[in-house]
Amino acid sequence: MDPRIVILMRLPEAPVTGGEIYNFELIKYLKRRFRDVEHISWQPRQRKGPVSFIINSLIQNISLLKHWNEIKSGAIVVEDVSQSSELFLFNSILRVLRRLTSKRIYLLTVIQQTYSPLMKDEVRRKLTYFEESIFINSSDGVVVNSEFTKRLVEGILRKDADIVVAYPGLNVSGLKESSLRRSERGPERKPEDDITQLLFVGYVTPRKGVDTLLKAVEILVKEKGMDHLTLNIVGDNVRERGLYQDLKDYSDKAGLGNKVTFRGRVEERELKDIYMASRIFVFPSLWEGFGMVLAEAASFGLPIVTTDAGAIPYLIKDGINGLLIPPGDEKKLASAIETLAKSPDMRAKFSEANRKLAARFDWGKSFSKVADLVEAQYRI
């Protein structure tokens, strides 16, 4: 008999962010691996300020208690820390009910990053840290997406808990595509002979640093004379439409309208084609718990310019398979892009190293560790 798995995760039908894709793939894997899996989702409540945040969080936590009867003894409850505000009180009550009813319930938390450090408002940051701490310390087991995230979690945990590191796989893979990159076909070719196609892939949100990227492109075109440069920005620009419009307006006012293309979300085949046509992947994120698109870009053999923020240096080593710069620094970002654009040998070195790196990431291999933990707890 398979263990009973109850997944409490608010997840849209069409996942957009790396975290949503990770959870989507995890749910698919668990449903393939085990027969008794139920996924319970819900709609988020509006939180316009600290008071609204607290009230709606409490209402959401209490409303989820209606699922108590669906959580039988021996069940594994899988949750995500990104929804800690909707589950932190629920988990605390669940643990009390577990003791009162003698139900054997195992709380397994998925953590891809902690969100309190990203809050600019001090009150919101403290509230988020408080709920994340309660949420994480209610867990019996934790699934993290990187060694970096594991270290963050260990700094918050005040109890013993099982921790499994399950790296993301590749949402889009170029490992089976041709390893011959257009930019490396002729060592005698000068950079200015061809258009240098830069690529950014990611959810268009302030944390991804697209504003810094546009400023860097402006520097390269206007100050460095790199008129042969173009930039494709691929990723959802609907959820934060106001930000997208601000970025588009900046691009147009800076005279980059013919250099920068906002493509929005694209189909998998088109995304692969864009990866293959690009020469340099640029990802100026302010913070990442892993950086799934970096692994994707690596699989296509793209040399990478990114930041030294969060977990990124665990993937991209400066001078080994990419160039690292401080987040939010458009001048250093422009300089790194220029250096890489003018160095075919460096691009070729990074390309080879990145293909080897990408071969490590596989959804099935990673999530098999989660399945092993589930089965071990079920047998206890």
Q: Is residue 124 located within the same domain as residue 193?
A: no
| Same domain flag for 354 and 219 | yes
Within a domain: 120: yes
Domain count, the chain: 2
Q: Give a yes or no: residue 119 inside a domain.
A: yes
- CB contact set of 154 (below 8 Å; sequence gap of 6+): 163
177 in any annotated domain: no
Q: What residue numbers bound the domain in which 135 lies?
A: 5-169+362-379
Distances from the Cα of 360 to the Cα of 40, 224, 255, 364, angstroms = 31, 37, 41, 11
- In a shared domain, residues 161 and 52: yes
Together in a domain, 197 and 335: yes
Residue 117, pLDDT score: 80
Q: What is the pLDDT of residues 76-108, one digit of tens each?
A: 999 999 998 899 889 999 999 999 999 999 999
C-alpha–C-alpha distance, residues 235 and 205, integer Å: 10
Let me know whether 90 and 226 are in one domain.
no
Residue 176 lies in a domain: no
How far is Cα 201 from Cα 285, in angstroms, rounded to an integer?
11
The answer for residues whose C-beta is within 8 angstroms of residue 7's C-beta and 6 or more apart is 27, 30, 37, 38, 39, 40, 77, 78, 79
Task: Give dist(CA 31, CA 3) in Å, integer.
Answer: 12
Q: What is the CATH number of the domain that holds 320?
A: 3.40.50.2000
* Residue 348 sits in the same domain as residue 373: no
Question: Which value, in Å, is the radius of gyration of the alpha carbons in the chain?
Answer: 22
Alpha helices by DSSP H, 122-209: 122-137, 147-156
Q: Are residues 113 and 244 in the same domain?
A: no
- How far is the C-alpha of 246 from the C-alpha of 248, rounded, in Å? 5
In a domain? residue 313: yes
DSSP annotation string for 49-89: SHHHHHHHHHHHHHHGGGGGGGS-TT-EEEEEGGGHHHHHH
How do residues 271-314 score in pLDDT, each as one tens digit?
Answer: 999 999 999 999 999 999 999 999 999 999 999 999 999 999 99
Q: Which residues of 125-156 are buried (b: 16+ CB within 10 A; e: fewer)?
A: eebbbebbbebbbbbbbbbbbbebbbebbeeb
Q: Report if residue 117 sits inside a domain.
A: yes
Structure confidence at residue 325 (pLDDT): 98
Question: Measuring CA to CA, which residue among 291, 284, 302 is closest to residue 340?
Answer: 302
Contact 11, 28 (CB under 8 A): no
Per-residue burial over 309-332, b if 16 or more Cβ lie within 10 Å, else e, is bbbbeebbeeeebbbbbebebbeb
Bridge partners of 111? Answer: 144
Q: Give the pTM.
A: 0.90
* pLDDT at site 26: 97
For the chain, which ranges sit under pLDDT 70?
Answer: 1, 47, 178-195, 380
Domain-embedded: residue 282: yes
Residues 248 and 227 in one domain: yes
Q: Are residues 154 and 22 in the same domain?
A: yes
Which residue type, as a one-letter code, is found at position 38?
E
Task: Determine the Cα–Cα distance for residues 139 and 135; give it in Å rounded to an integer.
Answer: 7
Task: Categorise residue 326: left if φ over 0, alpha if ψ from -120 to 50, beta otherwise.
Answer: beta
pLDDT digits (tens, 9 = 90+) for 161-175: 999 999 999 999 998
Please give the pLDDT value at position 277: 94
198 shares its domain with 328: yes
- Kindly state whether residues 158 and 228 are assigned to the same domain: no
Distances (CA, A) of 277 to 107, 130, 264, 300, 371: 45, 46, 17, 10, 38
Assess if residue 71 is contained within a domain.
Answer: yes
CA atoms within 13 A on the CB side of 27: 21
322 and 189 in one domain? yes
- Cα 214 to chain centroid distance, Å, stands at 21
